[in-house]
Amino acid sequence: MSYDWKGLTRPAKEAVGEVGIVTKTIYFNYKYALQLMEVNTGEEYSFAHFVRTIAHEIAHCLLIDYEPKYLNIDDPHTELHQTLTIQLEIYLWTLPEIQELSKLQLINLPLN
């Protein structure tokens, strides 16, 4: 879990013989977990924003896999990254798991 960012992707490169393998670990801010447990952490950590953050971090992972130079650029938030993030977010919202979690978040909203 991350305490300083909403999400963070950490790539690591290892050599297995003469083959280079890149692994990726994604971290999410602990406040997303609190929000899912019905602790109000504000709009900044809402379920919708969590889905957006998941898409953002998966976009980093895909670009690392398919654009080898991506590992060495100063600002990884390129136009391609932004486009990919948008497309991934649209896709994530079609998944039954995301739809179900979204319904549960709405059901559990406190009544005013």
pLDDT digits (tens, 9 = 90+) for 32-73: 988 888 788 878 888 999 999 999 999 999 999 888 788 788
CB 1 within 8 A of CB 53: no
**pLDDT of res. 70:** 85
Q: Is the pLDDT of residue 2 over 80?
A: no
Residues contacting 50, CB < 8 A, separation 6+: 28, 32, 35, 36
Average pLDDT, the chain: 87
| Domain positions in the chain | 29-107
pTM: predicted TM-score of the whole model, two decimal places? 0.84
pLDDT digits (tens, 9 = 90+) for 3-27: 678 999 999 989 999 998 889 999 9
Q: For 2-107, where are the alpha helices, taking DSSP H only?
A: 30-36, 47-66, 79-92, 96-107
pLDDT digits (tens, 9 = 90+) for 67-112: 878 878 888 899 999 999 999 999 999 999 999 988 888 765 544 4
Give the Cα separation of 70 and 60 in Å (integer): 9
Give the Cα separation of 49 and 51 in Å (integer): 5
